[in-house]
Every structure is written in structure tokens, then in C-alpha cells.
Amino acid sequence: MQDQLHKRAANIKVVSNVNIDPKDYPKYFKYKIYESFKPTDLKQTRNYIEFLTTNDPDSNSQTVSEEELSPELYAYLSKDMETKLPNFINEKKLLQFDGNFESGNLDSVYLVNESEYNLLCKTDTNTKGNTYWFYFKVLNWHPKSKAVFNLLNVARDLHRFYSHGMQIWTRTES
């Protein structure tokens, strides 16, 4: 099992310091397919943390009822993404993303094509708007399929770390 994880991680290519021309932003951020919950005050933050720590996302049972959720959190959890995708995209083949768990920092995901995604992570606490790490979950993965994840706002040069023994860790569950 451990060898499989290392083989998969070794196949992940890391490219750093890619600059995007602002005039190309519409092309990179056209089809939003995931957006994290963004609390606007301390009450929403507490409610969100309570929801995350008392509900198991892998089971159908919830310990916090819908009536106990803040209206903002309930609206977020029950809304569908409103992005109109092009006709040539098969929505059933798209990966599903999640960063709504402890330490998850995925902010939003934009579709480039059926196998390529632009990801933005939340900024790290106590930094001046920087992101130094990433942690998220991908669902609807099919064996032997390939995908490209463009992490657009990670502030450190990742190649330096991965060329000196550090690896991206992956885990697959059936």
C-alpha cells in the first residue's frame, strides 16, 4: 500500500513560479465548479466549526440538524453551483472537490477542461496574504485516469522542496 502511494506521488509534476498575465484571468477563472464557505463574522465561523466537528461527511447521519444551522451555512450547503458549462463537457466525468474539513484550505476550483482544474487555496493565518501549503479532497476519481491541478496561489517555490525528498501525499479509498 505504501509503495503505491509513493509511486503515485512520484508521478506528480510540480511546476513553480508561473506568472499569469491579468488579461488572461477570464480564461483561467471562467467555469467555477467549487467554492468554499466564507464566514463573514465570528458567529458564522463558530457555527461552521461546530458543523464541521460534529458532522461526519462520510456518513448520512448528521448531529446538527438543518434548523440549527445558520441561514448562511444552510444556504451554502444546499446550493448547487450555478456555472453554465460548455456542451462538450461531460459533467459526470468531472472531479468533485472538497476543502470543508479540519485543516482543509481549498477556496475555489475552476474548470479548464475535463481533466484540468485551476485551484485557489485560502490564505494562511498570520501571513500577509500568502499560501504555503494545500490540503483538499477529490471525489469521483476513476482508476488510471489523469488530472492536472494548477495551484495558482501557492507562494513558495515547491520544486525546491520536492526535488529534495519531500513528496505530495495521496490516498485512495474505494
pLDDT at 160: 66
Q: Which residue has the higher pLDDT, 3 or 152?
A: 152
3-state secondary structure of 117: strand
pLDDT digits (tens, 9 = 90+) for 159-169: 666 666 666 77
Q: What span, in angstroms and rounded, lies between the C-alpha atoms of 105 and 10?
A: 23
pLDDT at 5: 47
pLDDT digits (tens, 9 = 90+) for 68-90: 667 777 777 667 667 788 888 88
| Predicted structure pTM score | 0.73
- CA distances (Å), origin 65, targets 47, 50, 54, 74: 12, 12, 11, 10
Among candidates 48, 47, 21, 23, which has minimal Cα distance to 37?
48
pLDDT at 61: 54
